């Protein structure tokens, strides 16, 4: 059990995120920059919202890019 459950994700959650990120990096259809942005929000304490995931993967500032 983590020292403070409210301050960091558990080791198991971390393990899933590691594997998830690795699988996405091996997928040519997903840009690395998008994965970087998604990883950043996934590592935070709270679960991101769907629109935050959307913004991370399809950066609205880069309109026209998937």
Contact 1, 7 (CB under 8 A): no
CB of 14 to other proteins, least distance (A): 10
DSSP label at 62?
G
Q: Tokens standing for 14?
A: 């971390």
| 61 binds other proteins, rule: CB under 8 A | no
Binding flag, residue 42, other proteins (CB under 8 A): yes
Q: How far apart are CA 21 and CA 15, in angstroms?
A: 10
CB 23, min distance to other proteins, A: 4
Rule CB under 8 A: choose which of 4, 32, 60, 61 binds other proteins: 4
């Amino acid at each position: 059990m983590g020292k403070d459950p409210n301050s960091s994700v558990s080791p198991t959650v971390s393990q899933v995120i590691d594997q998830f990120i690795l699988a996405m990096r091996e997928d040519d259809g997903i840009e690395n920059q998008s994965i970087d942005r998604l990883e950043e929000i996934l590592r935070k304490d709270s679960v991101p919202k769907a629109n935050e995931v959307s913004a991370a993967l399809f950066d609205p500032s880069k309109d026209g890019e998937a």
